[in-house]
Amino acid sequence: MGTEVNAELEHVRSYWANMKSNSPIYNFLLEDIEIISATKGQIRAHLKVLPIHFNSKKTLHGVVSSCIMDWAGGMAIASTGLDNTGLSTDIHTTFVSTAKEGDLLEIESKASKVGASLAFTTIEIRHAGDKEKVVAHGTHTKYIKR
């Protein structure tokens, strides 16, 4: 995609590669996610909706959106340079619309604060190329041990 690779992007991609190999659920649901950019405290990623992401209506299952919230919050924290993104204490997902097979989702996650023991993130999942077409948004709080 012609994305400039910076230190944050390298770190987040490396962190994700390690995490993915140790997490069966992430490896299954998010195997094809692509981290396209990272700056300190923020990441953007793409995920193409596949049949493994479906609910019974053949649209994006809410559990996939919630899994993305969990994953993306951790990746935003990793973009600050941490090698351990902690334990989830709270994840909140608001489902706004849905997506169908073949849709390309853009995930944007921001770490609003990474403190001594807690980190707070906000996440938005939307259709790539259309910032107005939000699929879900949420927050993720993690306990981090420094």
What is the rounded distance in angstroms from the CA atom of residue 67 to the CA atom of residue 127? Answer: 17
Number of neighbours of residue 118 by Cβ within 10 angstroms = 14
pLDDT reported for residue 91: 98
Number of neighbours of residue 23 by Cβ within 10 angstroms = 14
As given in the structure block, the two tokens for residue 56 are 């019974």
- Tens digit of each residue's pLDDT (9 = 90 or more) over 87-138: 999 999 999 999 999 999 999 999 999 999 999 999 999 999 998 999 999 9
Between the CA of residue 130 and those of 107, 125, 135, what are the distances in Å?
12, 11, 11
Q: What is the pTM of this model?
A: 0.94
What is the rounded distance in angstroms from the CA atom of residue 51 to the CA atom of residue 49? Answer: 7
